[in-house]
Amino acid sequence: MDTALRAILEIYRAAQDTPVEEFQTLALKLLQNLVPFRSAMWANLDHTPTGLVAYSMNLFNEPDEFMKEMPVMNSRHPGTIDIATRRCGEGIVLYTPALFSRKDQADMREYIRRYGHEHNFAIADLDRPYTRGEWLALYRPERDSAFSERDRRLATLLTPHLVEAMLINRRLALGAIGESGSLGGTRALIKSNGTVIHSGARFVEMLSTDWPDWRFTRLPPLLLASLQRKGTATVANGSVTVTATKLGELLLLRAKKTSPLTRLSERERMVVRLYASGSSYKEVARQLGISPVTVRNCIQHAYRKLEIDNKAALVQLVQAEMH
């Protein structure tokens, strides 16, 4: 137990001074010192219409092609995830070839053999009612010994601390660039290649609604290219706008519903923002160096484009754009 307590302390210390893009890998190495494993996957889970999926992940000692195959195989054969989520917070140990022993599961057995996932420790740490949270899987190949009961208890004990330390690490990273202390809602962290490290529930919802072919673990290439080039992108049908801020080697993304004010010309937006802030036609005209008649015409054109007919509705749109 003293060994476990020392490891927990080391994990929390690492959370305070490790770059955010490196923390999960370092945390898994610390865990590996106590519970040996060859490879691992640490992912966020969420329910979708097709079932539980991992929509962001950190891979440890896994080849790149694993990330492409894993969502497909889990959707065909969801056994391990299903078992772990039914026993939320309790680590399980599995010999996976036995779990997928039916004749029609030969593809899954080959997948397990190819990546050395025969011996498996898995734990789901999901929010009630068990729809969203963290998933950790540790793997050993056939030639290695199975995870022992000691391994299971120790990994189960340490997993909540890994998750909490990860959240601390991300809050500290966000604080360093002036962000509020929560990485949730409509924000996400991605690597330069588009791999999603973490994303809030609303971010997933907004992008998957307007970009139905999006695979949660990696941003669509066109979206990523626009963010890297311009720092902003409009998703799919234009109803969602994503902006990017550099965070070391990562990008911090924010998604929000595209404001109807984007339908207006630049001058119309300047006029309506001043007018919505409480300025009269004459005051807006004086500030922008135009005539009151031009201000009035701009406001009337804006009403038509925005499909509204009064100042109160305009004020609501302007205020919504600011949040």
**Domain boundaries, position 13:** 2-176
Mean of pLDDT values over 23-38: 94
**Per-residue pLDDT reduced to its tens digit, 265-276:** 888 888 888 888
Query: Are both 251 and 133 inside the same structural domain?
Result: no
Domain boundary among 230, 257, 284: 257
Query: Are both 220 and 152 inside the same structural domain?
Result: no
In a domain, 230, yes or no: yes
In a domain, 306, yes or no: yes
- Bridge partners of residue 256, in order along the sequence: 241
Of the two residues 105 and 75, the one the predictor is more confident about is 105
**Per-residue pLDDT reduced to its tens digit, 178-220:** 555 455 557 788 888 888 877 766 777 777 776 766 766 778 8
Token digits of residue 126: 């999901």
Distance CA 323, CA 321 (A): 6
CA 63, 66, 70 angle in degrees (round to 5)?
160
CB 233 within 8 A of CB 227: yes
Q: How many domains does the chain have?
A: 3
CB 38 within 8 A of CB 141: yes
Q: What is the pLDDT of residue 255?
A: 82
Mean of pLDDT values over 55-76: 82
In a domain, 307, yes or no: yes
What's the alpha-carbon Rg for the chain, to the nearest Å? Answer: 25
Domain boundary among 176, 208, 230: 176
Q: Decide: helix, strand or coil at residue 159.
A: helix
Over 50: is that where the pLDDT of 129 sits?
A: no
Q: What is the pLDDT of residue 177?
A: 53
pTM over 0.85: no
Mean of pLDDT values over 288-304: 88
Domain boundary among 144, 176, 208: 176
Q: Quote the DSSP letter at residue 19.
A: -
Of the two residues 121 and 225, the one the predictor is more confident about is 121
In a domain, 181, yes or no: no
Over 90: is that where the pLDDT of 131 sits?
A: no
Distance CA 247, CA 172 (A): 12
As a 3-state breakdown, the chain gives helix, strand, coil percent values, each rounded to 5, of 50, 20, 25
